[in-house]
Structures are given as structure tokens and as C-alpha cells.
Chain A
């Protein structure tokens, strides 16, 4: 009756035998969750691919109405948030609590900046009547239907991405609180590692969204 009378700690839940086993399980669990996210966004990429094949010219014109410089700048913001996140994970691995908290806060701030820029872009689209709906109107394109389709895909993809950013920000806030209380050590830093994986995934989604939405046939020049 000896095997399971030991007390359960954060690092070693009662259903696991060793801490390494628990860490591997958590990491594998997050990777498989990321697979479901890839397939979730995959459905949107499929719709994008089909409709871009059908309405290539209209998609080019509507894509050119997006401000590419803001988009590129926003991509850099998100890439730097990925850098600070990985440095946070590194700090956790080395057990440097202060560095961990600082990098987590930096990641959170950069995420906030990204969402702020996003909100600005969306507001810009609102002002230009490019939000799909009754008062949608896009100048200089023959068919309003496919133009609205592009912006439906644009708002669906960037909206879903922004939702995942907000969830990521929430996770970061929880991590900052726990890290500040010193709950993580070099031997137990799985939550930081796992949230890092999630954050980098959200960054990778944007790495694909940026060229696919902003950079369609920019050479046409509008």
C-alpha cells in the first residue's frame, strides 16, 4: 500500500510517477492542443484559398486597401514579444525569478501594443465602411460581394487571432502573479514553458496571416 500515500505536490501530481514524466506529459498535451488549433485555423485557410482562387483580382484590390506598413510593424511587435517570451522561459529554466517576471511583463506589454495597433486598424476599416454588413461599400471594385467576402475572411482570421492573443494575455497575467510569488523554480517551470509554446503558436499564425492578407499582388499598386 506504499506507492500512493505520498503527498501530492505541484511538480508531481498523484497520477504521475516522476516529475520528468509529468513535464513530458504537459508538454505533449500542449503540442497536441496546438495541433487542434492548427486544424481550427486550417478551416479558415481553406476558405481563404478557395475564394482567393475564385476572386484573385478583387482580393488583390481589397488587400491593397490594408496599410502594409502598419501590418509589417505589427508583425515586428509580435516577433519581439516572441523573443521576450523565450527569454522568459530561459530565465525560468535558470531559476532567475526577477528576470522571469520582467520578461513576462515585457511580453504582455508587446502583446498589448499589438492588440492596440489591431484595434486601430479595425477602426480604420470601420471608418472606411469596409466592415461586412449592411453599410459595406468598397470603392473601385466591380463586385461588392467578393470584396465583402475578403473582409469577412480578414475579420474572421484576424479576429480569431486577436481572441487567441487575449487568452494568451490572460495566461501571462496569471504567470506573472505566480512568478512574482516565487511559485516557479528551475525544477518546476512547466506552466511557463507551456504558455510559451502557446504564445509562439499564436505568433506563427500571424506569420502566415500577414503575407496572406496584407501582401496579395502589392505590385499592382493601387
Chain B
């Protein structure tokens, strides 16, 4: 059997926060559980039925008591709500300087791609002390990227991107689970997250064959799929130029505007006619089925590498 822990490791900035909230809730729960169990036990013994025809005096209820045990629980729950909501809100918004990593869930494995081009299956190597942002999607069913030691969990849903982030605080090797039931080998879709000292992380990153960064793979794919024929850099091809596209606001043919984030770029590759740029014909064919989710992520990375437009650089956030 070996050692069996009763409490999970704290390996991210979220862990202590969530654990403090847990201790507060545990305290409240323990108090009320003991209160109820003690009251039942004491009343059951103190007022046990002594004689057969005994008829206790009738008390119908006291409104003051009712208000008391409505207001106090409500007050406590509001504290729990606001405290929990604040953590949730921060957990939902990754910092801007986070290390971007792409994760693709596929029936029964996690395929992870680093910016520098390194690819991993069911293993994630990240540097200590720096926030890491995962942009995730799934190629088939709903999966869920769950690292108990970081106290974070987020679905990877097919057809859209989802985001989770954490900042590791302790080097080590932590469990990675798939927490959304995804079929036959759901319980085998597990792996490890290695949090390494920055020095070791850099060596690890340099090691192994380096086939160039993700953006280079994206550039290669950009050529192979002949995107370059239309999307010329100098903006007088039949299609909009992609230089400086990421982060900018795009005016659409329907008059609306949309922020060119990862989701917009992915949608424009797989369903180009969903949002058509103002002033351009809906001429782009769909690449649904011609490029895998990893390929789309590589193209996104390549388009990002074409530099944010000057406006976005100076703009808010």
C-alpha cells in the first residue's frame, strides 16, 4: 500500500487560496454537523419516552428562531459565494505574460504543443515560477484537463477553444487526469505535469530534435495548403492580408466587428463563410477535414508571428 496521503500537494498559486476557502467551509460544515448530531443525541436521551401515555406540551414554533436560522445560514453562504466567485473570476482570466501552450484532447491522449515547436503526448514540461496559459480543444468528444495539485480543471470541448491557466510554485511531478467521461479508455487518458527549475527547463527545451518553432511549422503548413496564393503580405491579393491581423478588430460584411482572437482565426479556417471581412467576396474554401486541430493551432501561431498590428500594440490590454 505504501504511504497514502490525505491531502493533495499545493503546487500552484491557486492551491493555497482554494485550500483556505476549503478550510473555512470545512469549519462551518463541522460546526453545524456537530451541532445537529449533538442536539439529536442530547434531545433523544434527555427527552426519551418514559411512560406510555406521556403527552409533551405543545410548542408550535417561534418566528424569531426561524428568522435566526435563516439569516445566519444565508449570511454564511454569501461569504462562501463571494469568496469562491473571486477565486473563480481570477482563475478564468490568464495574465498577459503567460507562457502560451496548446493542448489538443483526442480519444484517450493529450497532445501538447509548445511555442518552440516541441510536442509531447500525455506529458507537460513547464518552467517554475512563470504563469502558463493552456489553450485547449478536442478532436472528438469532451475531455477535461485536470491537475489536482494545481486545483484547476477545464473542459476541452470539440468545436471551440477553452482556456485554463496556473502558475506553478513547486518543482516536481504532478498527476494529470482527464476528468470528463470520454469513453472506453477514459481512465487511461492520464499523464504527468513536470514543473522544472528554469535552468532544467531551458536544457530540456534545447534537447531533442528541434524542428523549428510552432510558428515555423505554421509557415510550412501555410505554404502546403496554398494559403499564400491569396493571402499576400502586401494586401492587394484577392484576400485580406494577415499581417498584423491578430488582436486587431475586423470589420465584417454584415456591418458588425469582431476581435481577431484565436477563436476567430480558427473559425475563419474551418468555416470561412461564418464571418466574411467587409469588402471581400466569400471566396475562401473550407479547410474542415483538410487540416487537423494541431495544424490549425500551428497556423494560428504563424499568423500571430506576423506581428500584432501597430494599433493593437498600443491599444488596451
Binary contact track B245-274/A, C-beta < 8 Å → 1, others 0: 000000000100000000000000001011
B282 within 8 A of A: yes
A residues less than 8 Å from B273 (CB atoms):
142-143
Residue contact B254 to A57, C-beta cutoff 8 Å: yes
By beta carbon, the residue of chain A nearest B271 is A143
Return B226 CB to nearest CB of chain A, in Å: 21
Residue contact A142 to B254, C-beta cutoff 8 Å: no
User: By the criterion of a CB under 8 Å from any partner CB, how many residues of chain B are at the interface?
Assistant: 6
By beta carbon, the residue of chain A nearest B275 is A142
Total A-B Cβ pairs within 8 A: 9
A residues less than 8 Å from B276 (CB atoms):
142
Return A61 CB to nearest CB of chain B, in Å: 12
User: By the criterion of a CB under 8 Å from any partner CB, how many residues of chain A are at the interface?
Assistant: 4
Kindly state the separation between the CA atoms of A143 and B273 in the bound complex, as whole angstroms: 7
By beta carbon, the residue of chain B nearest A55 is B274
Kindly state the separation between the CA atoms of A208 and B41 in the bound complex, as whole angstroms: 58
A residues less than 8 Å from B274 (CB atoms):
142-143
By beta carbon, the residue of chain A nearest B286 is A143
By beta carbon, the residue of chain B nearest A141 is B273
Kindly state the separation between the CA atoms of A57 and B253 in the bound complex, as whole angstroms: 12
By beta carbon, the residue of chain B nearest A145 is B271
Kindly state the separation between the CA atoms of A142 and B276 in the bound complex, as whole angstroms: 10
By beta carbon, the residue of chain B nearest A57 is B254
B residues less than 8 Å from A143 (CB atoms):
271, 273-274
B residues less than 8 Å from A145 (CB atoms):
271
B residues less than 8 Å from A142 (CB atoms):
273-274, 276, 282
Instruction: List 9 A-B residue pairs with CB atoms under 8 Å apart, sorted by A's residue number.
Output: A57-B254, A142-B273, A142-B274, A142-B276, A142-B282, A143-B271, A143-B273, A143-B274, A145-B271
